Structure 1
């Protein structure tokens, strides 16, 4: 974050951090600086208190109040209300940048590791035998989070969390302003708009996930390749979040309520700083330059710099959520037909992209070498 970006953030959050006290209180700038250090460096409360020469209880209060202020001040600025036109613009960005039509977001859930809460039983105990809180999120085509749901128990599956979160409930009740179903570009194939997801989710009218199995047809392999290009956006969004806010690189030793505040504040700051950098030259971007994200080339994917910063422990830091059980492998006929129709479109002249055949053939050769 540059000094100018800090000042911009302070002008928005600062009014909520002013305190009246008989003693000289910490200024809003100090409170914000303390919180940014805590989130970005992953420092302990003891380290924060020692570094700023304040008591541990004072540091804890400052962090809690400032994270609440960040969420209150930025929430409505960085999360736009979903409208039909807004989701339509997101789908246009996905086809322009990632060649996947009708996509209104990439969705995924991650476990955020926490210390075992008092008197919680097995509620937060996940399938990897850690204690965690689940972050369910949707991103647009530019690595911005457009929706988050925080606080579900780690013992729940992706599907259970999704069905019970506000997005899942609204989706299943047809209360989301999804753009109308229409033909795919330059074709007569009628297709709804949808979210792209991994295999943990149930295939449905509004959820598109990859084909499973080893002996897949060329159409299915191409579909999986094309879908992975769009779905990789949410993985990169999570990766950028962890690399820049290193509070997530360790088990968070706070109460579940405070962990909720940490996640909400960090996601708000992620979107806010990315928005500030949107119109500046690439060489001046500090938070998320092009090289910081994965890059697609004719020869495959070049890993983004966030992967080197986080290291191979990324899938331990933010662990994938558990595969869903009942209903996950039995999609309806309509959903299967929609996925097959989209797959046929992606291998047609209207929907194909250069090098997709080359990509799947390279994958076949690699599999043959490993057999």
Structure 2
């Protein structure tokens, strides 16, 4: 294996990873991407195969451009990107995006309460469109409301911008709420098989009784027992505006995570000229690489806050604009849970010092 620093042009291919993290990743995935040596010719080395894949993820350049730089054919480049992306997901997912346990959900909820002042929150939920060239014979399946073709990345993010659960490949003609209901995440959530902890009273408001652990989401999702969304409309009383602000403050963590993902991996700023199946593998690879980088590289990690402290960096931020929501049938129980959160955020036990200045 050659020293990466001996070839600056090649080193630029994976500038999103430090040399140390690149070397660690290469060791992990080499058994899956290494090809057999024959007497006919030498295969492309695992190091170069990984570099080609990361170059594509980090820049979004065409296979022709990347293949020219590495002196390989267009079709070979495409096969390498697909194979290595899948290998990255297979190797890193069990360690860096495992299925959350009940203890994991409790730890996430504790972090959300400490950092973002939203108790019993086990994650921020949202969807992101990944734009593709129109797949052949796909009709309107991938045609979205923005007038482009895409697949949808549905993600749950923890308080430190780490992806905990993702679902990739939903048809973009459907709404985020519709994609959730058809996804494994939505089905497990409905069946109660996600390992979500039992109901727990909010601190200082034990008289309200046990409250469920919830995901915070925007207006595209249905109000459910384990999914909280904002109150619709503009002319709202102060208590509801306070609730919307507190929910928005916690929910925008997933928006921030998508922003970090798009900055690290520029494929999200291009139109991908690959089939939806390969796009699924590419998107999953970037998400697990995001977690891999944040967990191992101190310069990429969000700061850890000690218990019982408050992050005041966003005190000056106002409410995100709320759009008029359409009819959204929700259970009476879910509406009652939202009312209890609303009352709690405007009570002495649950309010934060700056909320009244913002709303």
Shift of 1:288: 5.4
TM-superposition CA deviations, 1:122-166 (whole Å, max 9, x none): 111112221111111100001011111111111111121111100
SS at match of 1:297: coil
Aligned partner of 1:169 in structure 2 is 187
Alpha-carbon distance between aligned partners in 2 of 1:341 and 1:324, rounded to the nearest angstrom: 21
TM-score scaled by length of structure 2: 0.88
Aligned partner of 1:341 in structure 2 is 340
Aligned partner of 2:120 in structure 1 is 102
- 1:81 aligns to 2:80 (yes or no): no
Aligned partner of 2:308 in structure 1 is none
SS at match of 1:183: coil
Aligned partner of 1:141 in structure 2 is 159
- The answer on whether the counterparts of 1:157 and 1:324 sit within 8 Å (CA) in structure 2 is no
- The answer on whether the counterparts of 1:240 and 1:288 sit within 8 Å (CA) in structure 2 is no
Aligned partner of 2:66 in structure 1 is 48
Aligned partner of 1:299 in structure 2 is 316
Alpha-carbon distance between aligned partners in 2 of 1:226 and 1:239, rounded to the nearest angstrom: 21
Shift of 1:201: 0.5
- The answer on whether the counterparts of 2:160 and 2:302 sit within 8 Å (CA) in structure 1 is no
Alpha-carbon distance between aligned partners in 1 of 2:166 and 2:316, rounded to the nearest angstrom: 34
- 1:225 aligns to 2:252 (yes or no): no
Alpha-carbon distance between aligned partners in 2 of 1:298 and 1:151, rounded to the nearest angstrom: 36
Alpha-carbon distance between aligned partners in 2 of 1:298 and 1:140, rounded to the nearest angstrom: 20
Shift of 1:345: 0.7
Aligned partner of 1:15 in structure 2 is 31
- Cα distance change on mapping 1:295 and 1:151 into 2, 3 Å: farther
- The answer on whether the counterparts of 1:98 and 1:230 sit within 8 Å (CA) in structure 2 is yes
- The correspondence for 2:292, drawn from 247, 257, 272, is 272
- The answer on whether the counterparts of 1:204 and 1:332 sit within 8 Å (CA) in structure 2 is yes
Q: After the TM superposition, list the runs of 4 or more consecutive aligned residues in structure 1 that deviate by more than 2 angstroms.
A: 287-290, 294-301, 322-325
TM-superposition CA deviations, 1:238-283 (whole Å, max 9, x none): 1111110001101111111111111011111111111102xx3xxx
Alpha-carbon distance between aligned partners in 1 of 2:324 and 2:165, rounded to the nearest angstrom: 21
Matches within 5 A, 1:1-371: 1-22=17-38, 23-188=41-206, 189=208, 190-277=210-297, 280=298, 285=299, 287=300, 296-300=313-317, 329-360=328-359
Aligned residues: 328
Alpha-carbon distance between aligned partners in 1 of 2:72 and 2:120, rounded to the nearest angstrom: 52
In the alignment, structure 1 segments of 5+ residues that lack a partner are: 302-321, 361-371
Alpha-carbon distance between aligned partners in 2 of 1:183 and 1:300, rounded to the nearest angstrom: 29
In the alignment, structure 2 segments of 5+ residues that lack a partner are: 1-16, 304-310
Aligned partner of 1:305 in structure 2 is none
- The answer on whether the counterparts of 2:199 and 2:211 sit within 8 Å (CA) in structure 1 is yes
- The answer on whether the counterparts of 2:232 and 2:325 sit within 8 Å (CA) in structure 1 is no
Is the deviation greater in 176-185 or in 76-85?
76-85
Alpha-carbon distance between aligned partners in 1 of 2:287 and 2:57, rounded to the nearest angstrom: 11
Shift of 1:32: 0.8
- The answer on whether the counterparts of 2:232 and 2:324 sit within 8 Å (CA) in structure 1 is no
SS at match of 1:80: coil
Shift of 1:289: 6.0
TM-score scaled by length of structure 1: 0.85
Shift of 1:324: 9.0
- The answer on whether the counterparts of 1:109 and 1:158 sit within 8 Å (CA) in structure 2 is yes
- Cα distance change on mapping 1:2 and 1:94 into 2, 3 Å: same
Alpha-carbon distance between aligned partners in 1 of 2:213 and 2:237, rounded to the nearest angstrom: 25
Alpha-carbon distance between aligned partners in 1 of 2:249 and 2:46, rounded to the nearest angstrom: 42
